[in-house]
Amino acid sequence: MDGTGTGRDPATTAAAGAVYDLETPSGRATVRTTHPGGNGRVLGVDGDTIRIEPEQRDSTTRWFYWNIDVESDVAQTLRFEFPNDEVVGPRGPAVRTAMPCGGPIRNGAWDEWHWLGTADRIDVYGFRYAFDAGEQAQFSLSFPYQRSDFDAFAFEYESDPRLTVETLTTTDCGRAVPVVRLGSSDAAPAIALAARHHAYESTASYVLEGVLRELLEGAEASTLLESHRITVYPFGDVDGVERGDQGKHRGPHDHNRDYVDANAIAELSPLYRTTAAITRDLRSIESLALALDFHCPFKWGGDINDRPFFATEPAGASDAVQRLATRLESVTRARSSTDGPTLTFDASPGTGLASFDGQSGLLHTFSRYCSRRGAEPAATLEVPYVGTETDPVTPASARRFGRDLAVALERVMRVDGG
């Protein structure tokens, strides 16, 4: 490492990641990636510029997630550069701050995540931040969502008898894998929802949380709990989420390529304990009517990455997916005119129904497994990291979009016959 700084081996810390103690011309700064979701490797420090890159860990393709915790002992403006990666989005990084009282801030002492903004974004490779003395801030590609965020949500509804949170299994690292049960008895037609099969795809979790909130609070959406049993797998890779892994393109395959069963040709079994437990749970459901897997696409830009869409070849989209897309468009457009900034959905082919490189109906994905179990639709919903100028992604807008999706699901199941 050029400049003055030391990095402590991740093996000496309680979590994945490292701690880098750095000297700048103005004083001292500490960069950590040991917090839940932490990811980033300090390459060097040169004056007031700290150079970083995303850690790939066991991903076989270079990917873009990063999430760092920075504390400055003195008032100073620091530059953060990613010389090898275009990973600073159009609104700058997501940031949250708090004033420490001795030692790293614990969850719950932070401000809300928000975009840093264009004024302090240098370009796709970097940003700057003016620290107060003793200030601690966390920065990330987009808005992280950790197990603690889910637990805070679940705590709000712990007295609601319609929602239960169980432990589905434990991971190889000893973490509990939660499963959420909502609604009618196990004998009812079932809906399965899942997220975070790719660990870093965090904005999808805000949408999923919004769905659950509306199912529990909304006058219209809550009627779905009277007719259907809803099972939710909020963390397909909770170890990766908490370690801050990319999760995408893990070797030999990632969690959303692990939904396999033994058949007449091959004796196959899931590689990961979580997906093995989810497949067992899905097999216990007698009548699976609908399934949605929540993901995020590429970072931003291109033809489809800044708006939500169902991942499907437009010409081959099933009638059920098209009905859901049409309902979602109707709900989001009605809400957006009255409730301020939100994410609207456009059901047009190539926008709300879109495909991308590497997509295949033959992969061993959650949605394909649910389709084989009888779910129709069994779809993947992609949620952007950044959004558009008129439809920015924030934790609030993503949750609101999830609420809209819950209403659309209720209408599809009730009006369109599911």
Domain assignments of the chain as residue spans, ordered by start: 4-140, 147-414
Query: What pLDDT shows up at residue 360?
Result: 54
Question: Is 381 buried (19+), middle (13-18) or exposed (0-12) by CB count in 10 A?
Answer: buried
Highest mean pLDDT (candidates 59-73, 336-350, 359-373): 59-73
Centroid of chain to Cα 406: 18
More confident: 248 or 6: 248
Q: pLDDT-based confidence at 187, cuts 50/70/90?
A: confident
pLDDT of res. 418: 55
What is the predicted pLDDT for the residue at 335?
Answer: 83
pLDDT confidence tier of residue 184, bands split at 50, 70 and 90: confident
Pair 36, 107: CB distance under 8 Å? yes
Q: How far is the first Cα of the chain from the last one, in angstroms, to the nearest whole number? A: 58
Identify which of 309, 293, 231, 232 has the alpha carbon closest to the alpha carbon of residue 259.
293
**Measured distance CA(364)–CA(260) in Å, rounded:** 6
Residue 377 has a pLDDT of 94
Architecture field, domain 147-414? 3-Layer(aba) Sandwich (3.40)
Residue count of the chain, please give it.
Answer: 418
Pairwise CA distance, residues 252 & 271, whole Å: 9
Token pair, residue 413, equals: 């199941």
Q: Given CATH 2.60.40.3120, say whether it is the number of domain 4-140.
A: yes
- 361 contacts 311 by C-beta, under 8 angstroms: no
